[in-house]
Amino acid sequence: DSGVTQTPKHLITATGQRVTLRCSPRSGDLSVYWYQQSLDQGLQFLIQYYNGEERAKGNILERFSAQQFPDLHSELNLSSLELGDSALYFCASSVGDNWGVNTEAFFGQGTRLTVV
């Protein structure tokens, strides 16, 4: 168990709908990362938050947004869903933003999103 919790584990929804994926980082971790994993594109970095602030953006569509709350949990909002958004969405956390701290990223179990 990595200590990173993601809910829900599975989500099936229709095209055009909006969903929210939730992530609780490991206790003490301030950085949260979101990744999308699909068969054809591998593991794609979407966005990073550090202590409530957006820190970096990757290949995140404008239809997607995220935030990190004061209690450090994070939500990824996916709207106007398309069939191609079907994928496994992973959240990861790490201890912080200080290069002086050696750290790895710890991954949650993922949310499998199926858009029908």
Residues that bind another protein (CB under 8 A): 2, 31, 33, 35, 42-43, 45, 48, 50, 55-56, 90, 92, 94, 96-99, 102-110
How open is the CA angle 4-7-11, to the nearest 5 degrees?
Answer: 140
Instruction: Write down the least CB distance from residue 80 to another protein, Å.
Output: 27
Instruction: Write down the least CB distance from residue 98 to another protein, Å.
Output: 8
Query: In terms of CB distance, is 37 or 79 closer to another protein?
Result: 37
- CA torsion 111-103-71-54 (nearest 10°) is -80
Query: In terms of CB distance, is 50 or 64 closer to another protein?
Result: 50
Query: In terms of CB distance, is 14 or 27 closer to another protein?
Result: 27
**Percent of the chain that is helix, strand, coil (3-state, to 5):** 5, 50, 45
Q: Which two tokens stand for residue 7?
A: 């809910």
